[in-house]
Structure formats: structure tokens, C-alpha cells
């Protein structure tokens, strides 16, 4: 029975690919990677290396597991994943530090998110969108790389899908709150389903609070907007409002405490701590970006100061840059990893851009509002990640992937919308992306291999913008002509 189930195979492939990649990287990096400490030990991410060592240190000591949340182990920002890793070592591998054991659990956690995401999307957008979203969720390269390492993102993605599935089940696929109350009163046969929805929602939010409180807060904002746009009466019972406020407040306090574990912020309120941390982080990341790249430093010197923050945001959204993955000199092993990550992002990016068009095409119904709300939040998170990552090739995509479940949902919805409508703006968006990639490819090729003349960076951006304007303008004009022809 399971072998005939398409969803089962998606889950199995998601797990198998992550485990295979994890084992291959752990064994291959010491042989083919860089000569630094992380590569020699078989770790893709420095965070995973530090956390693994601290987890083993905690597990092999006589300290309680909850010491993972203390200042002594503050290198793991929130402590939840460190506590889990130490628990695994203490009770499943007390005799030796086995990084592959943690990779196994990361791969398993990432794969378990697939059915939850499928159930959530199927209830609202249908089976076709659910399968498309599940495949994107399972095979997106950045997600695979993170799921093949002992990182927090695989767990966050599954907690996100779990909470989303529970929320959708509670919402009854778009029923009003009154409809849900009527369903509850119909009898005990309906109550287990409602209770199950609340359990999955609570477990998902609790898991995110332990691993990344910011993700839990972002989901509460998502759910609040969803209720507003999907409820016919636009009124709420006091119980959901109270629950939302309680979880949000707890999450805010947990987040501020986690960010200030080293005591470096003097703000008196949780919001003050978060604000101080965000300002300091963005400022530091911009400084690191400028210091680490000569041409970025040159651009910063030439541009007005007010343009630096928007530049960092756009630069971060475009990371990892696909032409850079092809031409920047690097170790061949790492260059392949970089190239696959970049190709995955640039395959998904057009769908995320088109998500606003897919939402607007739904007419004036509730589904239109929800798609636009999801698209807005997904892009808000992408931009925040760009600012937080400061254009970094590794941190930026990793932060972006924390809420990748939303992006996978948008990708599935846009894919089905395009299959049903064959909307011309999909091809135009791909053409705009192709223009960007071709122009940047020439720029990187001339920079590293002196192929052709190198345009000044501002002029290159102007060429891209002009070509984009031509594509959009001609497309808009063609649509107007066709609409006029149909009206005659």
C-alpha cells in the first residue's frame, strides 16, 4: 500500500537524498575540501561544528541537559538544538562522538515535514498544488544541504509545516469560526480532528520557540492575517485572541532572552533588546560586506549613504549569485556545491516573483487575499534575511530557508496557476531573469578571465534595467492589443 502512495515516495526521497548527501559531505570534505578546521572535520557549516563539539562536551559531563540554555553554551544562540544534540549523545551514543548520528536525525526531521506541508496545502489550494509544494520542499538544494547537516533549519522547516497543517485543519479549509463551532457541536466524532489540529499547531509553535523564537513569532503574524482574510464575518472569539497574545508574548520574551544571553544589551524591554540586536546586526553585516569585497567598498564610496541599505537588501536577495558560482575561483568540490545552491534559488525565484500575479488572478475572493498575504510575508522575510545576512553567500540563503515552507507553498501555487493559464508573464519573468544572468555572466567572465570588455558596474545595472523595461513594456503593450482584439 505504501509503495503505491506518491507522498510516501516523496518523503522517502527527501530522507534518502539528505542522508546520502550528509554522509558524502562528511566523508568527502576532509579529502576534497579546503584545509580549514571545519572541512578537515567534515562539517559544511561552522555552526554545526561548534554545536556538535559543545553537545558532546555537555553530554559527556555530569551537567544537566538544560544547561544548553545557559550562558556557558551561548554559542548556540537559542539552545534548543544544542539540548537535543546533547540528549542524543548522552543516551544514544555515550561512548563516542558520532556526527553522522546527528546528520541522520536532521535528515529524518526534514523529511517528516513533507506530509504536514502536503496536508496543509491540499486543504486550501488542492491536490495538484500540494504535490508541487511537496516536491519543492523535498528537493530544494539549500534545504537538502541544511537537512544533511546538524543545523536547526531542518527542524524549523518541519515545525513550520506541522504548525501550518494544524492551523489549516483548525481553520477547516476556510470555514468561518462560527462554522467550526457548529462542527464542534455536531458531536464527539468531529472533536478528535479538532483536538488533533490543536495538538499539531501547539507542537509546531513549541518546537519553533525552542529552536528559533523569531520563526514562531513570524508564524503567529501569518496565522493572524490568514484568519482576518479568510473569515467571512471578520470577527473573532476572545479565546484565539488570548492564545495568540499569550504565545506571542512568551515568544518575544524567549527571543529577547536568547539574543541577550551574553548580556551585551542594556534595553529594559524585550522589544528594546530585539530592536538593538537588529540594528547592531545589520550595521555589522554591512561593515563585513564592505570590508570583505573590494568592489563593494568601491561602490559604497561612490553611492550616497542612503542607497547602501537598499543595495545590501537587493544584493542579499540575489545570493548565491549563479554567475559567480561559475566563474569565481574556488576549490572544485565547493564550487559544485555553490553552483547547485545557486541554480536552485534562481529556479525558485521567478515563481516567488510571480506569486503576486497568481494571487491577483484569483479575482476578488478569499483565496486571492490569502495568496497575496502569503506572498507579502514570504518576501518580507526574504528581505529581512538579506539585511540580516548582509549579502553573505552562506548566511543569507540559510536565514531565508528558515521559512522556506511558505516559499514552497507559493511555488506550488504558482506552478499550478501557470499550468492552468499559461500566463505570458511567466515567460517574461524568465526572460528578465535570463537577461540578468547573461549580463552578470559576461561581467564575471571579464572580471576573472578578461573575456571581452568589462562594463562599469553602474552602467551594467543600467543596461539590465533598460532591457527589463523593454521586456515589461512590450509585454504590457501586447496584452493591451490582444485585449482590444478580443473586445471587438
Tell me how far apart the alpha carbons of residues 93 and 126 are, in angstroms, rounded to a whole number: 43
**Of 197-206, 242-251, 478-487, where does mean pLDDT reach its minimum?**
242-251
**Of 190-204, 372-386, 408-422, 471-485, where does mean pLDDT reach its minimum?**
190-204
**Of 143-147, 157-161, 349-353, 480-484, where does mean pLDDT reach its minimum?**
480-484
Tell me how far apart the alpha carbons of residues 390 and 309 are, in angstroms, rounded to a whole number: 9
171 has a pLDDT exceeding 70: yes
Place of cell 499550478: 416
Nearest-Å Rg of the Cα atoms of the chain is 24
Q: Specify the pLDDT at position 358.
A: 92
Q: What angle do CA 472, 456, 439 make, to 5 degrees?
A: 40
Estimate the share of the chain in helix, then strand, then coil, as percent rounded to the nearest 5: 80, 0, 20
439 has a pLDDT exceeding 90: yes
Long-range pairs for 472-478 at CB < 8 Å and ≥24 separation?
472/428, 472/432, 475/424, 475/425, 475/428, 478/424
Confidence of residue 184 (pLDDT cuts 50, 70, 90): very low
pLDDT digits (tens, 9 = 90+) for 368-411: 888 988 998 899 889 888 887 766 788 889 989 999 999 999 99
pLDDT digits (tens, 9 = 90+) for 15-49: 999 999 999 999 999 999 999 999 999 999 999 99
187 has a pLDDT exceeding 50: no
**Please, are residues 216 and 251 in contact by the beta-carbon 8 Å criterion?**
yes
Q: Specify the pLDDT at position 191.
A: 62
Tell me how far apart the alpha carbons of residues 68 and 139 are, in angstroms, rounded to a whole number: 32
Tell me how far apart the alpha carbons of residues 299 and 461 are, in angstroms, rounded to a whole number: 12
183 has a pLDDT exceeding 70: no
281 has a pLDDT exceeding 50: yes
Q: Specify the pLDDT at position 343.
A: 95
Average pLDDT over residues 208-235: 78
**Please, are residues 183 and 175 in contact by the beta-carbon 8 Å criterion?**
yes
**Of 132-141, 210-219, 346-355, where does mean pLDDT reach its minimum?**
210-219
Give backbone dihedrals phi and psi of 187, rounded to 5 degrees, phi first.
150, 175
Place of cell 539585511: 387
Closest by CA to 414, choosing from 471, 349, 363, 345, is: 349
Q: Specify the pLDDT at position 41.
A: 95
**Please, what's the b/e burial string for 354-371 (b: 16 or more CB within 10 A of its CB; e: otherwise)?**
bbbbbbeebeeeebbbbb
Confidence of residue 169 (pLDDT cuts 50, 70, 90): confident
178 has a pLDDT exceeding 50: no
Closest by CA to 383, choosing from 294, 438, 324, 316, is: 316
Please state the pTM of the whole predicted model.
0.86
**Of 134-143, 157-166, 186-195, 424-433, where does mean pLDDT reach its minimum?**
186-195
Q: Specify the pLDDT at position 452.
A: 75
Return the higher-pLDDT residue of 228 and 56.
56
Burial class from Cβ neighbours inside 10 Å (0-12, 13-18, 19+) for residue 399 reads buried
Q: Specify the pLDDT at position 240.
A: 57
**Count of Cβ atoms closer than 10 Å to residue 374 Cβ:** 22
Closest by CA to 253, choosing from 78, 76, 75, 380, is: 78
Confidence of residue 272 (pLDDT cuts 50, 70, 90): low
Q: Specify the pLDDT at position 401.
A: 93
Average pLDDT over residues 115-119: 96
Tell me how far apart the alpha carbons of residues 79 and 62 are, in angstroms, rounded to a whole number: 18
* Summary mean pLDDT of the chain: 84
**Count of Cβ atoms closer than 10 Å to residue 404 Cβ:** 27
DSSP-assigned states of every residue in 223-281: HHHHHHHH-SS----HHHHHHHHHHHHHHHHHHHHHHTTT-----SSHHHHHHHHHHHH
Q: Specify the pLDDT at position 280.
A: 60
Tell me how far apart the alpha carbons of residues 200 and 159 are, in angstroms, rounded to a whole number: 9
pLDDT digits (tens, 9 = 90+) for 285-326: 555 565 555 566 667 666 777 777 778 888 888 888 888 888
Amino acid at each position: 500500500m505504501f509503495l503505491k502512495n506518491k507522498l510516501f515516495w516523496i518523503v522517502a526521497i527527501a530522507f534518502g537524498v539528505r542522508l546520502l548527501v550528509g554522509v558524502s559531505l562528511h566523508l568527502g570534505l576532509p579529502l576534497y575540501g579546503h584545509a580549514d578546521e571545519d572541512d578537515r572535520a567534515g562539517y559544511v557549516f561552522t555552526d554545526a561544528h561548534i554545536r556538535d563539539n559543545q553537545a558532546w562536551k555537555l553530554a559527556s559531563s555530569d551537567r544537566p541537559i538544560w544547561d544548553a540554555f545557559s550562558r556557558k553554551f551561548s554559542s548556540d544562540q537559542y539552545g534548543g538544538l544544542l539540548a537535543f544534540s546533547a540528549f542524543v549523545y548522552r543516551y544514544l551514543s555515550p561512548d563516542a562522538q558520532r556526527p553522522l548520528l546527528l546528520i541522520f536525525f536532521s535528515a529524518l526531521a526534514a523529511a517528516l515535514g513533507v506530509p504536514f506541508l502536503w496536508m496543509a496545502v491540499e486543504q486550501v489550494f488542492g491536490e495538484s498544488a500540494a504535490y508541487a509544494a511537496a516536491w519543492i520542499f523535498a528537493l530544494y538544494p539549500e534545504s537538502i544541504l541544511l537537512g544533511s547537516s546538524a543545523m536547526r533549519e531542518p527542524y524549523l522547516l518541519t515545525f513550520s509545516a506541522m504548525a501550518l497543517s494544524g492551523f489549516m485543519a483548525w481553520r477547516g479549509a476556510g470555514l468561518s469560526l462560527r462554522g467550526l463551532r457548529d462542527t464542534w457541536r455536531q458531536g464527539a466524532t468531529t472533536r478528535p480532528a479538532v483536538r488533533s489540529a490543536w495538538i499539531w499547531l501547539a507542537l509546531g509553535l513549541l518546537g519553533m520557540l525552542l529552536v528559533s523564537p523569531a520563526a514562531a513569532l513570524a508564524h503567529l503574524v501569518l496565522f493572524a492575517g490568514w484568519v482576518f482574510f479568510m473569515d467571512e464575518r471578520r470577527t473573532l472569539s476572545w479565546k484565539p485572541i488570548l492564545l495568540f497574545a499569550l504565545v506571542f508574548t512568551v515568544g518575544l520574551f524567549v527571543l529577547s532572552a536568547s539574543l541577550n544571553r551574553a548580556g551585551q544589551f542594556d534595553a529594559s524591554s524585550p522589544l528594546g533588546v530585539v530592536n538593538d540586536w537588529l540594528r547592531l546586526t545589520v550595521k555589522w553585516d554591512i561593515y563585513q560586506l564592505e570590508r570583505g569585497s573590494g568592489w563593494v567598498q568601491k561602490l559604497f564610496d561612490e553611492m550616497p549613504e542612503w542607497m547602501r541599505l537598499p543595495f545590501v537588501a537587493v544584493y542579499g536577495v540575489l545570493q548565491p549569485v549563479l554567475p559567480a558560482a561559475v566563474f569565481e575561483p574556488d576549490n572544485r568540490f565547493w564550487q559544485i556545491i555553490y553552483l547547485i545552491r545557486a541554480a536552485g534559488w534562481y529556479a525558485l525565484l521567478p515563481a516567488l516573483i510571480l506569486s503576486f500575479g497568481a494571487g491577483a488572478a484569483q479575482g476578488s475572493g478569499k483565496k486571492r487575499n490569502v495568496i497575496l498575504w502569503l506572498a507579502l510575508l514570504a518576501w518580507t522575510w526574504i528581505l529581512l534575511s538579506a539585511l540580516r545576512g548582509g549579502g553573505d553567500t552562506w548566511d543569507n540563503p540559510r536565514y531565508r530557508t528558515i521559512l522556506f515552507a511558505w516559499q514552497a507553498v507559493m511555488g506550488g501555487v504558482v506552478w499550478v496557476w501557470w499550468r492552468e493559464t499559461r500566463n505570458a508573464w511567466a515567460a517574461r519573468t524568465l526572460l528578465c531573469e535570463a537577461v540578468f544572468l547573461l549580463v552578470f555572466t559576461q561581467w564575471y567572465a571579464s572580471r576573472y578571465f578578461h573575456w571581452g570588455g568589462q562594463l562599469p558596474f553602474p552602467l551594467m545595472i543600467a543596461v539590465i534595467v533598460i532591457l527589463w523595461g523593454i521586456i515589461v513594456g512590450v509585454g504590457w503593450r501586447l496584452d493591451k492589443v490582444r485585449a482590444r482584439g478580443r473586445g471587438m
